[in-house]
Structure 1
Amino acid sequence: MSRETIPVTVLSGNLGAGKTTVLNSLLQARTDLDIAVLVNDMGEVNVDAERVAEHSDISGEDEDLIELSNGCICCELRGDLLDALAKLARTREFDQLVIESTGVAEPLPVAQTLTMGFDQSDLDPTEFYEETGVEVMDYYELDTTVTVVDAHQFWTAFDSTESLMDGDTKKELGTLLVEQIEFCDVLLLNKCDLVDEATLDEIEEMIGVLQPRAEIIRTEHGAVDPDEILGTGRFDFEAASQSAGWLQELREPHASAEEEHGVTSFVFESRWPFHPERFADLLDEFPTSVVRSKGHFWLAGREETALGVDVAGQSIRIAPAGEWIAALPADEREATLEANPELAEVWDEQWGDRGTRLVLIGTEMDHEEIHEALDAATLTDDEMAADWTAFEDRFPRFELEPEDEPVENETSAEEVGLAD
C-alpha cells in the first residue's frame, strides 16, 4: 500500500450518547470512501461491532471491521489497538479509519497512543511489533477527535456521581463526561429532537466554556455530514492537550459579567494559604452552582508541595500539583528563577511562589458570595502568625518523588469526602 498516511477519526462519548448510530450513519453516507472501522467495547461480546455489521455494508467477517473487546483502548488495550492497526495497514488498502471507543474511554490517552505509538515508557511493545518493527504512525495520522454528547441526558450525566467500571478503575459519569468534552475537535450534540431550544442553548454555552476550540454540531439520530468529521485536518495535539476551558481561563480570565445563559467563570487568587479545616468544610458543602473548577492551592502546613483541586459536577478530587519552587534546594531554586525571569513578578520575599489560583465555571454563580467563602477559608492575620501544625488537616497525604512531574488526570488523586 501507499506510505501516504491514512487519516483517523476517533469517536468518543458516554454510554448511550449515540456513537454507534453516528458511525452507521457515516458508513451509509460516504459510499465513495473505503472506510475501515475499529470498534471497542468493554464486554466480552462486542455488541457495537455487531450493530455496525448489521447496519452497514461491512460484514462481521470483513477485514475492514476490527473488534477490540473485554477492555478499554485508553488503558488495558492500547497495545492491542496498535497491533490491530498495524495488521490492518499491512493487509488492506482503505481511505479512512474510524475508531469508536467504549463509553468509559478518556479520549486524551487514546490520542496519545495514536500519536506516540509504542514510544511510551509505560507501554511495552507487543510480540507483533517486536517481530515486524512496524510503527503504526508510519501508516496513520490522527485527523479528528469527535465527542458525541446526549443532549437529552446532558445535565443528568453532568451532575452524576454514578461510578462506571473500566477494568479495576472506577470512573464517575460526570467527571468522564467533562473529560470527553474537554478533549475534542468536533462535538456532536446528539438527540436534539428530544430537547427544547432554550435547553440546547444552555448546553452549548456550557460546552463552549469547557471546550472553546471545538466546533459544536447539533444532530438528530446521529446524522452528520461526513465531511464535518472525516479528513478535516483539525487535530493538533499540542492545542488539544491545552484546550480545556479552565486552562484558557487561567491564562486569560475574561470578565465575570453574566452570559446569556448564566454560564460564567472567574479566577480566585490568594497569596495566603487555606486553613485546612475551613477549606475542607467548604469543599464538603461546595456550591452546586460550580460545575467545573481546577487549579492549584496552598494549604497551611503543606509548605513543600502544592495541591491541585479538580471539580467536575459533584465530584471533587485532590492530587499533588508539584513542589513549590521556594521549597527547592537553593541551587535548584536559583537555577529555576534564572531560567524563568517572569517569576520575579509574583515572587514573595517570605513565601516565594506559594499561593492559590483556581478557575471556577458554573451556572448562575454568585461570584461575590463564592469569592467571599473562599477568602474566608484562608488564614487570618492572627493565624498567619500561629502554629500551623496545630490545625486539623483532613486532606489526603501524598508522597511526591523528587523526579516526579505533575501530570494531567493524576492517577493518585483521591476523591474528597473530607467530612467522613
Structure 2
Amino acid sequence: MTPHPRVPLVLVGGLAPGPNATLAELLRVAAPGTAVVHHDLREIRSGVVRRRLRLGQRDELTVLELAHGCVSCTLREDLLPLLRRLARMPQVRRIVVRLDEAMEPEPVSWAIRNVLVGDHPAGDDVDLRAVLTVVDCASFLADATGDDVLAERNLQASPGDERTVAQVVLSQVEFADVLVLAGAAADAWTAAKAAAVLDRVAPSVPRVELSRIDGHSVLDAVPADARRGEVTDMHGALLRGAPPLHVDCGVGLVTFTARRPFHPGRLHDALDVLLDGVVRTRGRAWVASRPDVAFWIESAGGGLGIGHAGPWLAAPDGPEWTDVSPERRTLASLRWDPVHGDRAQELVVVTDQTTPGEIDAALRGALLTDEELAAGPEAWLRYPDPFGDWHEEPCEDTTPSPARRDATAANRKEDQ
C-alpha cells in the first residue's frame, strides 16, 4: 500500500491575536483547500478550550472540556488527532494552525513529531513547512524586557503556568522561520532598540511587514536553511546565524565560556545579574556538585529558568557518541579535555542596561578558584547545593519539548 503524501503544515504564533488572525486568513484565502485551526485557551483554567476550524465554507466552533486544563492535554487530546484527520481528508491541501498567544511553537513542533496518536505521530501525516511569528511592534520591546507573568494578562496556558511574557515572546521569535511585523513602535528610538534586540536573538530570521504581504509572499520569504520546526539541541551551537557583536542602542551580546566548574552557591548568587538589565540568556553550565549533568540556564526579561540538559558525554551514564547529533559531536571534539571531557561553561547573554563587563565578572567570580579546583571532584560533591530537585511538569506522560524538559518555573526579580 502506497502511503499518502504528507499535507503541508504552517504554524502561526505571536502575542497579538488580531494580526495573528489576519495572517492566518491571508494564508487561507491564498490557497483553496487550506484548513485553519485555532485553539482559544482563555478558559483553560476551568478545563475549557474553544476550537475553531475553518475549511472552505465550513466555520465550526467546538467547545472542548478537558479533564486537565493545560497545553499538553490540548495537544494530545485534540490538536494532534485533528491534524491526522484533516491530513487524510482529500479536500485538505494545506493546514494552518494559529497558535494561542500563550503557546510556544517549539513544544508544539516537538509534539507533532514525537507524541503518538494511535500508532504514529501526527508528523507522519503533516509536513511542517514554516513557523511564522507575528511581532507586535508597538509592544515587543516592553514585552521582551519586562517582568509581567502571563497570569497578569490572562494568558496562562495552564492553572500553574508561571512563565513570564518575555519568556514566551522571545521563544516565539527565536523559533520562527519568518518574523511578520505588525503595527508600529511608539517612536524611532523604541523601533531602533527593538530591531537591535531582534538582530541578536533572531539574527538569521527574515522580517516582512504584515501590511505588505499576502499568503504567497510570506511563505516565499522562508529561507532554504530554515529550521522548520527542528527543536533545540541543548548541546548544540547557541548562536544561529551571525548576530552583530557591537553595542547598538544599548543592546549588546556577551558570550561567556570557561573550562572549570561553577561553585553551586556562588552561581546561585551570581544569577541575579541575569535578572536586571538583561534581555536574554541561554546556555549550558557545569556545576561542581553535579558533575555528570549539564544545567540549562535560560532567562528572559525578569524571568529565569534552570533545567536539566541531560548528561555530559563524559559522564558515566552519558550517551554514546553515535546517539547524539553531528553538531554535538563536533563541538565536544573541539573542546574535549583529557580529564573532564566535554564539560564546560557556555552562555550567551543579550544585555540591555547591564554592561558586558558586569556579566563576565559575576559569572567568572562564581567559578571554582585554583585552590577549590585542586581539591578535586570528591570535595566538590560536598558543596551545599541550593538548586534542589528538578521540577517535574504536572502532565508526566507528555514531555513538552527537549528544550523545556525539567525546566523550573519562572521566577521574577522580586522573588529572588
> 1:14, 1:104 within 8 Å by CA — same for their partners in 2?
yes
Provide, for residues 41-63 of structure 1, a one-character-per-residue CA deviation record: whole Å limited to 9, x for no partner: 114474x84xx98xxx966xx1x
> 1:143, 1:235 within 8 Å by CA — same for their partners in 2?
no
**C-alpha spacing 1:190/1:243, structure 2 compared with 1 (3 Å):** farther
Q: Partners of 1:273 and 1:187 in 2: how far apart?
A: 37
* 1:317 counterpart (280, 295, 305): 305
SS state at 2:38 partner: strand
Compute the TM-score of the two structures, normalised by the length of structure 2. 0.75
**C-alpha spacing 1:201/1:33, structure 2 compared with 1 (3 Å):** farther
**C-alpha spacing 1:356/1:205, structure 2 compared with 1 (3 Å):** same
Provide, for residues 187-226 of structure 1, a one-character-per-residue CA deviation record: whole Å limited to 9, x for no partner: 112122x533332232223123222232212335xx7322
* 1:303 counterpart (266, 286, 291): 291
**What does residue 395 of structure 2 align with?**
none
- CA shift for structure 1 position 162: 0.8
- CA shift for structure 1 position 362: 2.2
Q: Partners of 2:274 and 2:362 in 1: how far apart?
A: 10
* 1:217 counterpart (201, 208, 213): 208
**C-alpha spacing 1:104/1:157, structure 2 compared with 1 (3 Å):** same
- CA shift for structure 1 position 147: 0.8
Equivalent residue letter for 1:201: A
**What does residue 39 of structure 1 align with?**
38
Equivalent residue letter for 1:217: V
**What does residue 357 of structure 1 align with?**
346
Provide, for residues 81-121 of structure 1, a one-character-per-residue CA deviation record: whole Å limited to 9, x for no partner: 2433344445552554322111111212333444x3xxx3x
1:208 aligns with 2:208: no
* 2:170 counterpart (169, 175, 178): 178
1:199 aligns with 2:190: yes
Report 1:125-136 matches (<5 A).
125=118
Q: Partners of 1:235 and 1:67 in 2: how far apart?
A: 37
Equivalent residue letter for 1:302: R
Q: Partners of 1:141 and 1:161 in 2: how far apart?
A: 35
> 1:22, 1:224 within 8 Å by CA — same for their partners in 2?
no
**C-alpha spacing 1:416/1:378, structure 2 compared with 1 (3 Å):** farther
**C-alpha spacing 1:5/1:236, structure 2 compared with 1 (3 Å):** farther
> 2:253, 2:350 within 8 Å by CA — same for their partners in 1?
yes
> 2:206, 2:222 within 8 Å by CA — same for their partners in 1?
no
**What does residue 104 of structure 1 align with?**
102
* 1:381 counterpart (343, 364, 370): 370
Q: Partners of 1:191 and 1:308 in 2: how far apart?
A: 34
* 1:145 counterpart (103, 123, 131): 131
SS state at 1:98 partner: strand
List gaps (5 residues or longer) in structure 2. 393-398
**C-alpha spacing 1:253/1:301, structure 2 compared with 1 (3 Å):** farther
Q: Partners of 2:191 and 2:72 in 1: how far apart?
A: 30
Report 1:11-410 matches (<5 A).
11-14=12-15, 16=17, 18-24=19-25, 30=30, 33-42=32-41, 43=43, 44=48, 46=50, 49=52, 62=58, 75-91=73-89, 93-114=91-112, 116=113, 120=114, 122-125=115-118, 140-158=126-144, 159-164=146-151, 165-170=156-161, 171-192=163-184, 194-219=185-210, 224-230=213-219, 238=227, 240-241=229-230, 249-250=238-239, 256-259=245-248, 261-286=249-274, 288-328=276-316, 343=332, 345-363=334-352, 365-386=354-375, 387-388=379-380, 391-398=383-390, 407-410=402-405
Q: RMSD in angstroms over aligned alpha carbons?
A: 4.2
Larger Rg: 1
**C-alpha spacing 1:67/1:185, structure 2 compared with 1 (3 Å):** farther
**C-alpha spacing 1:24/1:69, structure 2 compared with 1 (3 Å):** farther
